[in-house]
Amino acid sequence: MAIADTTENESEQNLFITVSGTPGSGVTTLCRGLADALGCGYVSGGELFREIAEERGMSLSQLTAQAGESEELDRALDRRLRTIAETWGTANKGFILESRLAGWLAGNRADLRIWLDAPEEVRLERTEDRDEMAAEMQVREAVDAARYESYYGIDIEDRSIYDLALNSARWGESALLSLVLNAVREYDPVADEGEFVVPEFEP
């Protein structure tokens, strides 16, 4: 399992943070900035997907094509994410888990759950270099939403489980990072009056 190591800085708080969001909303950029600023490691669903591809002797495009037709593959990835969440949820060390379902899979093991979004036209502009057109993005999101509902009864549009839900288009990269860092650093478990409960489910 590839965990980004950012041990140059020592984490100020031992918080387990999940970051999720729509494609092109800046999730990966935010995670890298947070991990560097907080001096903690992070794992992304994308990296785990690449690991599964290597284990199965497949290219990333081959595995992506198979994933669209294989519930087993989807669940295998989600089980890995859940295992990581269970491990780090009791480790008392700073850590960031990134994936579309990270907040749901980590559930109440996470100290803070973050969601990023942005208007479709902004996200499309950001993902142009990834060769993902508007129609493809819409289809991908609709298919993903249907899978989450079918597999786990999750409504991915339900933002109620998140402690922060932000439109990343409203701030530049550094300003968004500063905003989230301030929320993380100002978080006080003693003053915390309660998080939303995330229903448990088996991936």
The CATH number of whichever domain residue 42 belongs to comes to 3.40.50.300
Task: Please state, in angstroms and rounded to a whole number, the distance separating the CA atoms of residues 198 and 115.
Answer: 14
What would the two tokens of residue 146 be?
Answer: 């249907």
Q: What percent of the chain stands above pLDDT 70?
A: 91
Q: pLDDT band for position 33 (50/70/90)?
A: very high
Indicate whether 190 belongs to any domain: no
Q: Strands of 16-21's sheet, edge to edge?
A: 41-44, 95-98, 16-21, 112-117, 164-167
Q: pLDDT band for position 7 (50/70/90)?
A: very low
Task: Kindly state the DSSP code that residue 93 receives in the 8-state scheme.
Answer: S
On the question of pLDDT at 9 being above 80, the answer is no
Indicate whether 2 belongs to any domain: no
Indicate whether 120 belongs to any domain: yes
Q: Is 62 helix (H, G, I), strand (E, B) or coil?
A: helix
Half-sphere exposure for 179 (CA within 13 Å, toward CB): 15
Task: Please state, in angstroms and rounded to a whole number, the distance separating the CA atoms of residues 102 and 113.
Answer: 8
On the question of pLDDT at 25 being above 90, the answer is yes
Tell me how many domains the chain contains. 1
Indicate whether 197 belongs to any domain: no
What would the two tokens of residue 122 be?
Answer: 């902004």
Q: Give the per-residue pLDDT at 11.
A: 44
Indicate whether 150 belongs to any domain: yes
Pair 53, 60: CB distance under 8 Å: yes
Indicate whether 5 belongs to any domain: no
Q: pLDDT band for position 58 (50/70/90)?
A: confident
Indicate whether 202 belongs to any domain: no
Q: Full-prediction pTM beyond 0.85?
A: yes
Q: Which of 194, 12, 39 is nearest to 111 (CA)?
A: 194
Domain ranges, residue 122:
16-183
Indicate whether 198 belongs to any domain: no
